[in-house]
Amino acid sequence: MSHAEKGRKKQRGKKKAGKGKRGKAQTPILIATKNGVTEMVEKILEEFPVAIQDEDAEQKNVALLAVENRQPHVYKFLLKKENIPTDSVFRHVDFRGNSALHLAATQCEEYRPWLISGSALQMQWEIKWFQ
């Protein structure tokens, strides 16, 4: 399959993917990142390395989405992955100016942590994630 055919296939995939909050299409890599499917993120990056640059409607890339949705396995995979432009991926900020550190420190409205009994255990989980 030529690069042009792969590009067209990727564009078709973008059009079929779900819409974000502001109507911008969610790409498969963004959906896999939000849901913590590391294997899917890996396969997409093998076939379409340029997918690492995908952003959602709020200009969040895969690294920001992994942090925001508390997906440490995806984030660690991205850190270990070679051939990723680390400056543009890990230093990226969303349209509000939030970096990965900001998103790790905040709890968004949509965030539903694992059901952990007791406040102390919940706090331990949050501290572990923040580190």
Q: Report the number of secondary-structure helices (H) and strands (E) in the chain.
A: 8, 0
Q: Name beta bridge partners: 25.
A: 19
For residues 53-82, average pLDDT: 94
User: What is the pLDDT, as a whole number, of residue 117?
Assistant: 65
Instruction: List, in order, residues 6 or more apart from 85 with CB less than 8 Å away.
Output: 52
Q: Which amino acid is at 43?
A: K
Which residue range is the domain that position 100 belongs to? 3-130
Count of domains observed in the chain: 1
User: What is the pLDDT, as a whole number, of residue 110?
Assistant: 57
CATH number for the domain harbouring residue 59: 1.25.40.20
**pLDDT tens for residues 68-126?**
998 999 999 999 998 889 888 999 999 999 999 888 888 655 555 555 567 777 777 77
